[in-house]
Amino acid sequence: MSVCPSIHTCPFFNDKMSSKPTLAEMYKKNYCKGNYEICARFKVSKILGKKYVPDNLFPNQFNRVKDLINKE
């Protein structure tokens, strides 16, 4: 199992999810420490760059990926 290269710097987990540690751990297990290639945040970062990943983009918001990419 591979680990996302952004796991330690991802603002979503290091800032936005601090009030919901259980939910954050679930996301980390399923995406960051699991199949990170399907993470919406990873996809946007890979295609557009990290600066284009909105802080409020959840890893499972696949429907937003296409919109964000087409916007740029």
In a domain, 1, yes or no: no
In a domain, 52, yes or no: yes
In a domain, 5, yes or no: no
pLDDT recorded at residue 12: 80
| Overall number of domains in the chain | 1
- Note the pLDDT tens digit of each residue in 11-65: 887 777 878 889 888 988 999 998 999 999 999 999 999 999 998 899 999 999 9
Number of Cβ within a 10 Å radius of residue 58:
17
In a domain, 6, yes or no: no
Domain extent for 66 = 11-71
Extract the tokens encoding 39. Answer: 């993470």
Round to whole Å and give the CA distance between 38 and 21: 21
In a domain, 41, yes or no: yes
In a domain, 2, yes or no: no
Round to whole Å and give the CA distance between 27 and 48: 22
In a domain, 18, yes or no: yes
